[in-house]
Structure 1
Amino acid sequence: MGVSFDLFGTLVTADRPSDPAAAVAAELERRGVDVPDDWADAYAESHIDAPEGAEVPLPAHVSRALESRNVDYERNAARRAVVAAFDPAVETRPGAREAVDAARERGPVAICSNCSVPELVGRTLVRSAFERDEFDAVITSVGCGWRKPAPQIFELTADQVGVDSSDLVHVGDDRRADGGVESVGGTALLLADHPLETLPARLAEREESQQS
């Protein structure tokens, strides 16, 4: 059995900009970019025709939004602005430490997170109660190109921890996104039904049922 955990809203809480477009605009301006007057509209528009289920990295979206308004900018300004705009304060959720420890006792453990911002998952882990090397794999949508509930991200997670998809248990807080693991034969443990504090006992029950 391998266990993967969603990160944001499951293992940690992280503050995010209440107005992402404005936050990105402020960071672009700090980097000398002339943000257009209709930036909120440009940010809200779709600029990249991606396949269903694919992740569009936010820096790529921001770059295309600027280009759609004929704005000239330094090549890496969009990425640096996005990374700076999403720089959260992080708190580890109650029960998260115990849930990960219980999963670790039973097999490989991974992070499987939807996140369109480069570097954000790594910086979040650094600011949490966890160490990066506690996880056998850290799979992000911006890194692999697919967002939960796309089956590809769960298949990759299972492959990275060395288990069949049917042996992957995924813990998360979003019924639609995290429940997508069931499309590859895995098991979803959703916090609405299985709060973090109950996860150690639930994983033990699953292990016993598999052995019997």
Structure 2
Amino acid sequence: MTATAASAFDLFGTLVAIDDTPEPAAAVADALAARGITVPDDWASAYREPHSNAEEGAEVPLPAHVAAALASRGVDVSDTTAGQAVIDAFDPVVETRTGAVKAVAAASEVGPVGLLSNCAVPELVARTLRRSALDREVFDAVVVSVDCGWRKPDPRAFETVARQLDVETADLVVVGDTPATDGGITDCGGEFIDIAETSLPNLKASLTEGQPCR
């Protein structure tokens, strides 16, 4: 890693661990019921079905998916109701991973630091950051797929965070836990650091000492 490298950290599974909602369809159904919306008897099936012709690599916001799934069964809800139900359905307990805070702080001493997260739930990333030990202000850019419209490993996701960090995509180092998504940066000429191979505490030491991260 060069002294001028910009870093982009994945969030879920990399910097934090959360208690995943075990049955998201049921959680959304409960949140809808709390707003007076009765879901169809085959809601679980409707929830699993695709209801969008989105371009490959594009993010479909979960509220839009929920509204479309309900509409496919003849149930109409407003965008606001669908959005609020989805936000309420995903309310995680957050655990900051060991070494995460120091790793991000160390990266910020080397160059600009971003957060790049695949997440279809509005507000979930912001809520997760508030509940973690991470300081939102240490990130020079926070890019979430539900906002930018593209999911890793689509190049446009990496291009978005690189642009916000004012660097070329090829100069971006992505730190994450999933080679299939975070590792897509290598197709853009950048570098991927897998925390399964380089733990966050070791990443911090490498960055601080100016040594190669691999």
**Taking structure 1 as the reference length, what is the TM-score of the superposition?**
0.95
Q: Is 1:195 paired with 2:165?
A: no
Structure 2 CA distance for aligned equivalents of residues 72 and 152 of structure 1? 33
Q: Which residue of 2 aligns with 1:153?
A: 157
Structure 1: gaps spanning 5 or more residues: 208-212
Q: Is the 8 A contact 1:112 1:140 kept in 2?
A: yes
Structure 1 CA distance for aligned equivalents of residues 212 and 112 of structure 2? 15
Structure 2 CA distance for aligned equivalents of residues 72 and 51 of structure 1? 25
1:59 CA displacement: 0.3
Give the fraction of aligned pairs with identical amino acids, expressed as a percent. 56
1:73 CA displacement: 2.8
Q: Is the 8 A contact 2:67 2:76 kept in 1?
A: no
Q: Which residue of 1 aligns with 2:211?
A: 205
Number of residues of Structure 1 aligned to a counterpart in Structure 2? 207
Tell me the secondary structure at the aligned position of residue 76 of structure 1: helix
Q: Which residue of 2 aligns with 1:44?
A: 48
1:74 CA displacement: 4.0
Q: Is 1:67 paired with 2:71?
A: yes
Structure 2 CA distance for aligned equivalents of residues 73 and 4 of structure 1? 37
- For residues 173-203 of structure 1, the C-alpha deviation after alignment (integer angstroms, 9 at most, x for no partner) is 0010000011111100011111111102333
Q: Which residue of 2 aligns with 1:210?
A: none
1:75 CA displacement: 4.0
Tell me the secondary structure at the aligned position of residue 37 of structure 1: coil
- Tell me: CA distance 1:179–1:75, structure 2 relative to 1, closer, same or farther (3 Å): closer
Q: Which residue of 1 aligns with 2:84?
A: 80
Counterpart code for 2:113: V
Q: Is 1:10 paired with 2:6?
A: no
Q: Is 1:105 paired with 2:109?
A: yes
Q: Is 1:118 paired with 2:122?
A: yes
Structure 1 CA distance for aligned equivalents of residues 193 and 114 of structure 2? 14
Structure 1 CA distance for aligned equivalents of residues 151 and 134 of structure 2? 23
Structure 1 CA distance for aligned equivalents of residues 62 and 125 of structure 2? 14
Counterpart code for 1:89: V
1:139 CA displacement: 0.3
- For residues 45-92 of structure 1, the C-alpha deviation after alignment (integer angstroms, 9 at most, x for no partner) is 000011111111000000000000011334411110100001111111
Aligned equivalent of 1:56, options 60, 65, 73 = 60
1:96 CA displacement: 0.4
